[in-house]
């Protein structure tokens, strides 16, 4: 093999559990392995990234990755790590989500007809014609309820940790996932299933089924669930998930997420979410430790992941936009921003609306800032900050409390960017 896949995961901190013999199998021959993704949305988010990177490293090591879209299981919902039942999706939505996810996976994996080219499968394709009676007779009889109840994912739902119990539909999830492994083992010679550590129970149910149904060799491997150093949930922000699709999370916001992770998290994440080799990463961490205030590790992490998920152009645009918000950018740089990028950069910043008609005639700044918008609590405070050189409009110092604000000051014909002090931004939108 090109490289030891397990060792690669080990030094990157991406290995939680594996069945005995897994590493030996992977060193012995090119092996087909799969990882499941439930298509509950038409975009992946960064919570999926660790699993995707496992598939990527697998392919880089000369093995064949299969990404399984859980069209059937997505209609049911996985109880693992959850305390409530999920919404069930219809087939049309699932197919749309599948196509979108495949496009995103194409940024990480090489799909095609080659020996170790990636493949995308959907478990709905082999489950849709399977009758309940046949499944109960052929698969259900092989696994005892006692065995299923012993799994952590199920126990938690029965032990009062959840506000509601668990439906029979969800209870069957591990059997269905187990059967996926049986199917891929039989039809694709798939010998390894990978997933997050919360999937261990479901994966080992699959290996048990393969054994009982007379299948070939089968192994299991999981990665840790990624958390933040402070114990908070990785990938969740105040505004929700960080998505890979730009229509949900702009490349600028995506870049900012990685740029703003803590030092401890950056040291872990650069191993997990990039393909940089060990010596490069060790050198980056050493450089960072010498001058943590430079945030060189975060900058490189943000670059690598943004380029991989989006593009080099998106990364460069995000850096330029960041300089406008946090650097010493000029009025000229600000005026060059497209409306889309302007709104991305200043997403979440307090917005005030004024009439375009008012700007035609020109508005006295104290009226605009203290009455029409409430950017300042009073005209006195507005005057004080303006005359003290602490107020800017569109990245230019504004020092004359008598100078009217006019439509000529509008960026993209719509916006005025106000800045109090160094960090307090406000947008005035003319409508």
Q: Would you please indicate which residues are annotated as catalytic (active-site) residues?
A: 40, 45, 48, 82, 86, 177, 198, 233, 236-237
Output Rg (C-alpha) for the chain, integer angstroms. 27
Contact 195, 35 (CB under 8 A): yes
CA atoms within 13 A on the CB side of 237: 15
Helices then strands, each counted (H, E), the chain? 21, 13
For 15, list phi and psi in degrees, rounded to 5: -120, 120
**Cα dihedral: 242, 351, 298, 227 (round 10):** -40
Report which of 256, 275, 372, 319 is spatially closest to residue 8, judged by C-alpha positions. Answer: 275
Report which of 5, 70, 68 is spatially closest to residue 31, judged by C-alpha positions. Answer: 5
**Which stretches does DSSP call E strand in 278-390?**
351-354
Contact 208, 147 (CB under 8 A): yes
Structure tokens at 348: 């979440």
The angle formed by the CA atoms of residues 127, 129 and 131, to the nearest 5 degrees, is: 90
Instruction: Classify 193 as helix, strand or coil.
Output: strand
- List b or e across 304-314, with b for residues whose CB sees 16 or more CB atoms inside 10 angstroms: bbbbbbbeeeb
In 3-state terms the chain splits into helix, strand, coil percentages (rounded to 5) of: 50, 15, 35
């Amino acid at each position: 093999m090109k490289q030891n896949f397990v060792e690669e995961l080990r030094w990157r901190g991406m290995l939680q559990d594996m069945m005995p013999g897994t590493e030996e199998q992977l060193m012995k021959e090119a092996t087909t392995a799969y990882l499941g993704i439930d298509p509950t949305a038409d975009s992946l988010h960064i919570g999926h990234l660790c699993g995707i990177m496992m598939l990527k490293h697998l392919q880089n090591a000369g093995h064949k990755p299969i990404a399984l879209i859980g069209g059937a299981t997505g209609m049911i919902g996985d109880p693992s790590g959850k305390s409530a039942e999920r919404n069930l999706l219809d087939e049309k939505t699932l197919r749309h989500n599948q196509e979108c996810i495949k496009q995103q996976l194409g940024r990480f994996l090489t799909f095609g007809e080659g020996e170790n080219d990636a493949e995308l499968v959907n478990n709905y394709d082999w489950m849709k014609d399977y009758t309940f009676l046949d499944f109960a007779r052929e698969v259900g009889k092989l696994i005892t309820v006692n065995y299923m109840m012993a799994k952590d994912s199920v126990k938690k739902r029965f032990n009062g940790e959840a506000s509601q119990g668990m439906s029979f539909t969800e209870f069957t999830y591990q059997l269905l996932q187990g059967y996926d492994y049986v199917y891929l083992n039989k039809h694709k010679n798939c010998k390894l299933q990978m997933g997050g550590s919360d999937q261990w129970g479901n994966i080992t149910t699959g290996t048990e089924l393969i054994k009982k149904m007379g299948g070939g060799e089968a192994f299991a491997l999981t990665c840790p669930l990624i958390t933040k150093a402070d114990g908070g949930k990785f990938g969740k922000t105040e505004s929700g998930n960080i998505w890979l699709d730009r229509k949900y999370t702009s490349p600028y916001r995506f870049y900012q997420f990685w740029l703003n992770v803590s030092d401890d998290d950056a040291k872990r994440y650069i191993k997990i979410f990039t393909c940089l080799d060990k010596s490069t990463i060790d050198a980056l961490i050493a450089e960072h430790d010498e001058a943590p205030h430079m945030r060189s590790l975060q900058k490189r992490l943000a670059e690598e992941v943004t380029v991989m998920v989006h593009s080099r152009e998106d990364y460069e645009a995000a850096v330029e936009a960041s300089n406008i918000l946090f650097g010493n950018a000029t009025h000229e740089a600000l005026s060059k921003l497209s409306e889309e990028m302007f709104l991305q950069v200043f997403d979440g910043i307090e917005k005030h609306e004024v009439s375009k008609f008012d700007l035609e005639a020109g508005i006295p700044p104290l009226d605009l800032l203290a009455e029409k918008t409430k950017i300042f609590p009073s005209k006195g405070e507005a005057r004080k900050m303006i005359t003290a050189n602490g107020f800017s409009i569109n990245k230019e110092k504004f020092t004359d409390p008598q100078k009217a604000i006019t439509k000529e000051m509008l960026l993209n014909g719509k916006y005025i960017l106000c800045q109090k002090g160094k960090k307090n931004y406000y947008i005035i939108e003319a409508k």
